[in-house]
Amino acid sequence: MSNWYYCNATATNCIFTANSAVYGGAIETYTAGPVLANCTLTANSASISGDALFCDSYEQIHPSSVSITNSILWDSGDEIFNNDNSTIVITYSNILGGWPGLGNINDEPGFVLPGYWDSNNTPDEPNDDFWVDGDYHLKSRGWRWDAENNLWTQDDVTSRCIDAGNPGSPLGKEPLSVPGDPNNQWGRNLRIDMGAYGGTAQASIPPHGWAILSDLTNDGIVDFSDLENWTEDWLNNSLPLTNKPGDLDRNKIVDFFDFALFAQDWLKQTSWHK
């Protein structure tokens, strides 16, 4: 468990697994302002509250302020506990049990191989259990990096976390194609992935039709709810522009060029939309 007291730490492309504590299995904040971007928190536990995150303050006078984006929090369902009036802003993240915020989803992450505790052949003796690391790349029918064999491969399912991050977030080092598919026959990368491999050279690529650039709400269709959110970003251009979802061309300004991209996607639906 990480204790983030009186600090404004930033964690990017980090994996928090197999941590345990009384409060905040992975992270406990205390009058702090941490920022998590493209992180994966899973298989953590807290004996009282907040398997992934516990927010606290000094006598409710100096509350924490937490920002999480493009991340996956998938433990046992008691992911986040706010012990005071802390501000917790989460967007474009996959949270077990759900969490309010633009672009958030609540869906099985589709990890290649979740880690687990091995009982060491003594199920009645927990003190000798040991942790077996998992593989937290995201499964895809398009392309997924096989870390064990060092090659690109395909799965029979696709994670909803792929290409579900903030549309305005830069892709970073995410591949636009792979050596075995230079013409994108099997899939194309449009948006940053959620989780620790989002923005990296090992980010999974979804099959065609799995994601839409302008689907700001992550509900699988581009409609008036997406237009409302895009318009809000456009009207707030005077504010500091930091990866706003409406900045579809990612040039640090929401303008008519972004609207042109939005219009091209109008009423498009993903292959999984119901």
**Residue 261, CB half-sphere, CA atoms under 13 Å: how many?**
19
CB 190, CB 208: distance < 8 Å: no
Angstrom distance (rounded) from CA 27 to CA 60? 19
Query: Which residue, among 154, 149, 119, 128, has the nearest Cα to 139 in the 3D structure?
Result: 154
SS3 111: strand
pLDDT score, position 5: 57
Give me the sign of the Cα torsion angle 181, 187, 192, 196.
negative
Total Cβ atoms within 10 A of residue 10? 12
Overall average pLDDT of the 232-240 stretch: 80
* Secondary structure letter of residue 193 according to DSSP: P
Overall average pLDDT of the 215-220 stretch: 98
pLDDT score, position 239: 60
CA dihedral 247, 249, 251, 256 (to 10 degrees): -70
User: Which residues are registered as beta bridge partners of 80?
Assistant: 53
- Give, for 90, the enclosing helix (H) or strand (E): strand 87-91
- Give, for 117, the enclosing helix (H) or strand (E): strand 116-118
pLDDT score, position 149: 97
**Residue 14, CB half-sphere, CA atoms under 13 Å: how many?**
15
Overall average pLDDT of the 22-47 stretch: 88
Overall average pLDDT of the 246-268 stretch: 96
Q: Considering only 43-47, 202-206, 263-267, which range has the smallest mean pLDDT?
A: 43-47
Angstrom distance (rounded) from CA 246 to CA 216? 8
This prediction has a pTM of: 0.93
Overall average pLDDT of the 41-62 stretch: 82
The two tokens of residue 140 are 């895809």
Q: Considering only 13-17, 28-32, 169-173, which range has the smallest mean pLDDT?
A: 28-32
pLDDT score, position 86: 84
Total Cβ atoms within 10 A of residue 212? 22
Residue 241 has pLDDT above 70, yes or no: no
pLDDT in tens, 61-116: 567 789 999 999 999 889 998 887 788 999 999 999 999 999 999 999 999 999 98
pLDDT score, position 6: 58
The two tokens of residue 93 are 């993240």
Q: Considering only 132-141, 148-157, 241-250, which range has the smallest mean pLDDT?
A: 241-250
SS3 241: coil
Phi and psi of 167, rounded to 5°?
A: -60, -25
The two tokens of residue 56 are 């606290």
More confident site: 199 or 65? 199
pLDDT score, position 83: 81
